[in-house]
């Protein structure tokens, strides 16, 4: 560390003060400016993780409006699955995403906003997806903690896509300082307080706390791919796109690059003089060893001490930037995901703890990263930092958060913390401000499926699987875990067209900004398939660009206690598969117009109806009441039958409810075999065993 006095603070223009204090507020609020509060992000991700780790498969529902018409199981990418099992805490840390990494301000100012104008025509416009794809490609070569962290980071983007479509609808637009910011924080904060406590996967019922998030093993990956922006690296290109003047990694990566240029120039000049001295022959009158040696001595006398200083300075910057991931992780635990008990209604930001983290970093690293004070700069003749960056770092050192927040917003740090900690007290007054669509606390409670009309029962929490924005986030979080080939199978199973050039993950290729809404509209999947495919995967929600899609009513289900009479049928949503109770008493399954199976109950054994009893017993009966065929499926109360798009006839049974979720846990499957079905043709006996899970691409029925 350099042994120089701390630099004195210069006078800064008012415009710069405003910018810097706004940056401080963004740092304060970043955990809530990401649409979902981090607790909601992690709660949804934990459910996706739970589904993946129990058997290596995730459940993907096919929807028609709000109705689930099919549920398929798909294998998690094998390499990612192993990493998720080993590095679960690193996955959760990644889920906090750019709200914490590489740090509060860089994430909010550079990764979240996406496309921002550039004055440099040589710079290709960048966006949030470019950051995601950069991390995705880098993590594939490293694996381990890096891949688990990146999967979480992309999962954060999946949540922001749906959350911002909702929140921006009610606040009038993306997060910006002013009334809009207050509305964002109050709305997101309240949903966060109503988020179910997060039961840790494999934790025996224990709740997730901030201690269950870790970047251990991923620190170097974060440093290399989010902080160390050396010229010539992909990260350096990403840092050129947006305003980087308020980013510690950007400021000091740029300063280090300048130091390196000076160091390289010194040694290049020295090497050139040494070469010329060596090559100068005694009788070569075109050169003079004496003169060249004098030049070398003068060059070293004037610059060697500066270069030695700059080498130490460069080393200090390296050390400070390498320490930055742990600073961000510590701040995340103080400001972002702060719970120490797992009760999401308790606790809040520890601003004193955050101040201590920043103070320690300043003492150990930031002062020496600043380099020489003004006096040395004047004597040595080299620059420190550009004026705005220098002003930002100095004010960062001096004021941290307190006075900057007060002077830039008119609200004290305590005022902001009160709105974030108790959003229900400010909800109706804040959401009544001009901006987006109107929303009251009672209306939001009803949308969340709560019975509480205010905040009288803090322990009442909403269901992640039934509230459309979190249900959609959960679906995409699961799709993030699939390999590209498996994701393509999902598209085909839904009757969609697989576009060319998919970038390797379900959440890549279209999220131009984490802060915007309707980002799915940028997806090549919609270009190829329109909103029809979207509506089969995701529920309609406020602010959704595809919300106008009318649900298709599929006559594919025979409910518990229902009867299929003569000439009645059930058909799959795509219309290709039909189960019909024919007039001759034969129950026949047709696939693409061809008989695939028949009950062989015609003539003397002609059935008059197919009945699914309340106990799950599926059977054919004559008009006299005599049973002529049975599937032997007693003991499954509430079961219902579906004819699926893939040609499978599936008996779904209620077999339990997951923590935080509702609805069928997994379907039992009635297995139909045989190909003959026409009248008079023989068909193998129908075993109809209950099989447990129907996996996404497996053949449960013959095709």
- Token pair belonging to 347: 């606790």
- Specify whether the CB–CB gap between 198 and 339 falls below 8 A: no
pLDDT tens for 18-40 read: 334 444 444 444 444 456 788 89
Nearest 5°: CA angle at 301, between 300 and 302? 90
Q: What pLDDT, on a 0 to 100 scale, did the predictor assign at position 413?
A: 66
Q: What pLDDT, on a 0 to 100 scale, did the predictor assign at position 546?
A: 66
* Summary mean pLDDT of the chain: 78
Strand order in the sheet with 618-621: 563-565, 609-612, 618-621, 627-630
Q: Kindly state the percentage of the chain with pLDDT values over 90.
A: 37
Return d(Cα 186, Cα 428) in angstroms, integer. 10
- Token pair belonging to 446: 């009803």
Residue 3 in this model has a pLDDT that exceeds 80: no
Q: What pLDDT, on a 0 to 100 scale, did the predictor assign at position 281?
A: 86
Torsion angles phi and psi, residue 578, rounded to 5? -135, 130
How sure is the predictor about 700, in pLDDT bands with cuts at 50, 70 and 90? very low
Place of tokens 């004021």: 399
Average pLDDT, stretch 529-544?
80
Average pLDDT, stretch 483-509?
90
pLDDT tens for 382-430 read: 455 555 565 656 555 555 455 545 554 556 667 777 777 889 999 999 8
C-alpha distances out from residue 631 to 136, 290, 654, Å: 48, 105, 18
pLDDT tens for 553-580 read: 567 888 888 999 988 888 876 667 889 8
pLDDT tens for 302-349 read: 999 999 999 999 999 999 999 999 999 998 888 888 888 878 776 667
By the 10 Å C-beta count (0-12 exposed, 13-18 middle, 19+ buried), 438 is classed as exposed
Average pLDDT, stretch 261-267?
96
Residue 550 in this model has a pLDDT that exceeds 90: no
- Token pair belonging to 186: 């109050």
Residue 380 in this model has a pLDDT that exceeds 70: no
Return d(Cα 617, Cα 561) in angstroms, integer. 9
Residue 16 in this model has a pLDDT that exceeds 90: no
Residue 126 in this model has a pLDDT that exceeds 70: no
- Specify whether the CB–CB gap between 431 and 183 falls below 8 A: yes
Verify cis geometry, omega within 30 degrees of 0, for the bond prior to 369: no
Return d(Cα 412, Cα 500) in angstroms, integer. 52
- Specify whether the CB–CB gap between 159 and 478 falls below 8 A: no
How sure is the predictor about 179, in pLDDT bands with cuts at 50, 70 and 90? confident
The 10 Å Cβ neighbour count of residue 604 is: 8
Torsion angles phi and psi, residue 222, rounded to 5? -65, -45
Structure-model confidence comparison of residues 96 and 4, the more confident one: 96
Contacts for 191 with CB less than 8 Å, ≥ 6 apart? 36, 37, 40, 444, 448, 462
Torsion angles phi and psi, residue 183, rounded to 5? -60, -45
Q: What pLDDT, on a 0 to 100 scale, did the predictor assign at position 675?
A: 28
Average pLDDT, stretch 79-86?
97
Q: What pLDDT, on a 0 to 100 scale, did the predictor assign at position 26?
A: 44
Residue 91 in this model has a pLDDT that exceeds 50: yes
Q: What pLDDT, on a 0 to 100 scale, did the predictor assign at position 572?
A: 78
Return d(Cα 107, Cα 247) in angstroms, integer. 9
3-state secondary structure of 357: helix
Q: What pLDDT, on a 0 to 100 scale, did the predictor assign at position 384?
A: 52
Span of 494-503, 514-523, 682-691 with lowest mean pLDDT: 682-691
Highest mean pLDDT, choosing among 70-74, 350-354, 647-651? 70-74
The 10 Å Cβ neighbour count of residue 138 is: 18
Place of tokens 């200090």: 316
Task: Tell me the HSE value of 389 on the side-chain side, using a 13 A CA sphere.
Answer: 18
Return d(Cα 143, Cα 146) in angstroms, integer. 6
Q: What pLDDT, on a 0 to 100 scale, did the predictor assign at position 403?
A: 52
Q: What pLDDT, on a 0 to 100 scale, did the predictor assign at position 368?
A: 87
Name the β-bridge partners of 563: 611
Q: What pLDDT, on a 0 to 100 scale, did the predictor assign at position 673?
A: 29
Q: What pLDDT, on a 0 to 100 scale, did the predictor assign at position 477?
A: 97
3-state secondary structure of 686: coil
Q: What pLDDT, on a 0 to 100 scale, did the predictor assign at position 70?
A: 87
The 10 Å Cβ neighbour count of residue 32 is: 27
- Token pair belonging to 128: 């949030």
**CATH code of domain 554-703:** 2.90.10.10
- Specify whether the CB–CB gap between 437 and 119 falls below 8 A: no
Q: What pLDDT, on a 0 to 100 scale, did the predictor assign at position 256?
A: 95
Residue 655 in this model has a pLDDT that exceeds 60: no
Name the β-bridge partners of 68: 63
Q: What pLDDT, on a 0 to 100 scale, did the predictor assign at position 42?
A: 94
Contacts for 345 with CB less than 8 Å, ≥ 6 apart? 193, 458, 459
Using only the alpha carbons of the chain, give its radius of gyration. Answer: 32
- What one-character DSSP code corresponds to residue 125? P
Q: What pLDDT, on a 0 to 100 scale, did the predictor assign at position 46?
A: 96
Return d(Cα 257, Cα 79) in angstroms, integer. 36
Residue in 507, 502, 491, 484 with CA at minimum distance from that of residue 150? 507
Cα dihedral value 321, 399, 185, 333, nearest 10: 50
Place of tokens 């060596």: 278
Q: What pLDDT, on a 0 to 100 scale, did the predictor assign at position 437?
A: 87
- Token pair belonging to 390: 């220098």
**How long is the chain?**
703
Q: pTM (2 decimals)? A: 0.72
Return d(Cα 30, Cα 35) in angstroms, integer. 10
C-alpha distances out from residue 658 to 40, 340, 487, 553, Å: 17, 24, 24, 28
- Specify whether the CB–CB gap between 393 and 370 falls below 8 A: yes
Structure-model confidence comparison of residues 436 and 138, the more confident one: 138
Residue 157 in this model has a pLDDT that exceeds 90: yes
Structure-model confidence comparison of residues 178 and 157, the more confident one: 157
- Token pair belonging to 544: 């959704």
Residue in 512, 652, 456 with CA at minimum distance from that of residue 129? 512
Helix residue spans in 172-247 (DSSP H): 179-193, 219-222, 234-239
Average pLDDT, stretch 232-261?
86
- Token pair belonging to 283: 């009788």
How sure is the predictor about 473, in pLDDT bands with cuts at 50, 70 and 90? very high
């Amino acid at each position: 560390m350099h042994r120089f006095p701390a630099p004195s603070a210069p006078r800064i223009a008012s415009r710069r003060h405003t910018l810097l204090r706004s940056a401080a507020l963004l740092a304060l609020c970043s955990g809530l400016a990401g649409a979902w509060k981090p607790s909601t992000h992690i709660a949804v991700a934990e459910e996706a993780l739970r589904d993946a780790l129990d058997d290596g498969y995730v459940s993907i529902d096919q929807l028609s409006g709000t109705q689930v018409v099919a549920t398929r199981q798909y294998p998690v990418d094998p390499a990612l699955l192993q990493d998720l099992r080993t590095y679960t805490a690193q996955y959760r840390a990644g889920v906090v995403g750019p709200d914490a990494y590489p740090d509060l301000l860089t994430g909010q100012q550079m990764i979240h906003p996406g496309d921002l104008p550039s004055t440099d025509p040589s710079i290709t416009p960048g966006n949030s997806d470019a950051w995601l794809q950069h991390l995705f490609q880098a993590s594939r070569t490293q694996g381990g903690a890096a891949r688990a962290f990146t999967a979480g980071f992309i999962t954060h983007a999946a949540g922001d896509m749906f959350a911002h479509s909702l929140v921006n609808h009610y606040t009038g637009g993306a997060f910006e300082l002013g009334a809009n910011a207050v509305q964002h924080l109050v709305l997101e904060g309240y949903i966060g307080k109503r988020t179910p406590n997060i039961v840790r996967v494999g934790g025996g019922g224990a709740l997730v706390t901030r201690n269950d998030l870790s970047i251990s093993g991923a620190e170097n990956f974060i440093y290399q791919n989010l902080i160390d922006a050396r010229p010539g690296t992909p990260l350096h290109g990403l840092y050129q796109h947006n305003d980087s003047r308020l980013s510690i990694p950007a400021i000091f990566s740029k300063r280090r690059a300048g130091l390196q240029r000076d160091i390289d120039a010194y040694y290049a000049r020295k090497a050139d003089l040494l070469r010329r001295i060596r090559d100068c022959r005694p009788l070569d009158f075109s050169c003079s060893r004496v003169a060249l040696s004098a030049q070398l001595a003068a060059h070293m006398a004037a610059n060697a001490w500066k270069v030695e200083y700059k080498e130490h300075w460069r080393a200090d910057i390296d050390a400070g930037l390498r320490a930055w991931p742990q600073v961000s992780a510590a701040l995340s635990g103080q400001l972002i995901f702060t719970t120490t008990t797992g009760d999401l209604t308790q606790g809040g930001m520890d601003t004193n703890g955050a101040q201590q983290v920043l103070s320690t970093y300043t003492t150990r690293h930031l002062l020496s990263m600043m380099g020489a004070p003004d006096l040395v700069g004047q004597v040595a003749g080299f620059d420190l930092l550009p004026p705005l960056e220098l002003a930002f770092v100095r004010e960062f050192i001096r004021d941290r958060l307190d006075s900057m927040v007060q002077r830039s917003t008119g609200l004290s740090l305590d005022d902001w913390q009160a709105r974030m900690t108790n959003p229900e007290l400010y909800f109706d007054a804040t959401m009544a401000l001009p901006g987006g669509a109107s929303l009251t606390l009672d209306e939001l409670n009803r949308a969340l499926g709560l019975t509480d009309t205010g905040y009288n029962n803090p322990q009442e929490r909403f269901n992640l699987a039934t509230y459309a924005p979190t249900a959609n986030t959960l679906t995409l979080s699961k799709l993030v875990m699939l390999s590209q080939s498996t994701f393509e199978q999902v598209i085909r199973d839904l009757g969609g067209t697989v576009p060319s050039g998919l970038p390797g993950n379900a959440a890549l290729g279209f999220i131009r900004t984490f802060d915007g809404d309707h980002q799915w509209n940028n997806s090549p999947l919609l270009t190829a398939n329109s909103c029809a495919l979207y509506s089969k995967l995701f529920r309609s929600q406020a602010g959704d660009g595809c919300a106008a899609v009318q649900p298709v009513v599929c006559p594919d289900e025979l409910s518990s206690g229902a009867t299929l009479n003569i000439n009645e049928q059930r058909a799959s949503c795509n219309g290709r598969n039909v189960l019909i109770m024919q007039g001759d008493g034969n129950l026949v399954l047709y696939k693409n117009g061809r008989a695939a199976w028949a009950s062989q109950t015609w003539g003397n054994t002609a059935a008059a109806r197919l009945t699914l009893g309340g106990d799950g017993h599926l059977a054919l009966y004559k008009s006299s009441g005599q049973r002529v065929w049975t599937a032997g499926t007693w003991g499954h109360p509430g079961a219902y039958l579906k004819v699926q798009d893939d040609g499978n006839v599936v008996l779904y049974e209620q077999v339990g409810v997951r923590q935080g979720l509702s609805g069928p846990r997994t379907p039992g499957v009635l297995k139909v075999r045989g190909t003959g079905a026409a009248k008079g043709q023989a068909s193998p006996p129908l075993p109809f065993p209950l099989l447990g899970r129907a996996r996404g691409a497996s053949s449960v029925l013959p095709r």
